Amino acid sequence: MTYDAIVLAAGRGSRSGLAYNKVLFPFEGRPILWKSLELFALDDECAKVVVACASDEIEEFSRQFAMNKVEFVCGGKDRQDSVRNALTKCASPYVLIHDGARPFCSEELRERIKTALKTHPAVIPGLDVVDTIKEVDENGLVVRTPKRSMLKAVQTPQAFETEMIVQALDMVQQNNIQVTDDAQAVEICLHVPSLVVAGDPQNFKVTSPQDIERLSA
């Protein structure tokens, strides 16, 4: 199959405690963003990697991360806007959308997602939830306790038929809907459920100071 990849790198990552974009944090001598770029750029089936980054960083990123197949586009106000901007550069029938702050996605997970995408138009990786989850109201009171066996902690990359995710995100923008991931846009606007495949515990998102310490260990 032929696909394009979108790597999101426009967030400032203020929760990480860093004074700069967390995808620039060094790991094994290089910024962590390199690992996500190579995951896709070195895959023969990937036609293009589009990196969405902040407008004031696009020149720096273009120099620092120059490699075959990789292009850069300005990110938007929100995550969904950044994805939609990057999709204007995508022409392949499928697209994989990945957080640049998840540097440890394995080739095995990538291939698992791609295989599922051949038979389902929307595919996301997920992990079993080990903690009991409580839904609470604005006063902090528990409303209900969802059945844990029915819950998944969702990761990226999330994969879609390109035309479908474009349509969903256009509808999101037109109706001023806020979504927390791309699969939600497809669920809400097109009523297409995503197929969940097994995620990878190592595919964590660098978010907190503790995650930075984990990379530094």
In a domain, 207, yes or no: yes
10-residue mean pLDDT series, the chain (217 residues): 97 78 94 97 98 95 95 95 98 98 97 98 97 97 96 98 98 96 98 98 94 88
In a domain, 119, yes or no: yes
Q: In angstroms, rounded to a whole number, what is the distance separating the alpha carbons of residues 185 and 61?
A: 28
In a domain, 129, yes or no: no
- Segments forming the whole domain that contains residue 91: 3-124+154-216
DSSP label at 80?
Answer: H
Q: In angstroms, rounded to a whole number, what is the distance separating the alpha carbons of residues 211 and 198?
A: 22
Q: In angstroms, rounded to a whole number, what is the distance separating the alpha carbons of residues 199 and 127?
A: 5
In a domain, 11, yes or no: yes
pLDDT at 13: 64
pLDDT at 17: 80
- Mode of pairing for the β-strands spanning 94-99 and 3-8: parallel
pLDDT at 3: 98
* Contact between residue 40 and residue 7 where contact means Cβ atoms under 8 Å apart: yes
The CATH number of whichever domain residue 205 belongs to comes to: 3.90.550.10
Residue for token pair 């120059």: 66
In a domain, 201, yes or no: yes
* Contact between residue 142 and residue 135 where contact means Cβ atoms under 8 Å apart: yes
Q: In angstroms, rounded to a whole number, what is the distance separating the alpha carbons of residues 217 and 213?
A: 6
pLDDT at 90: 98
For the chain, the domain total comes to 1
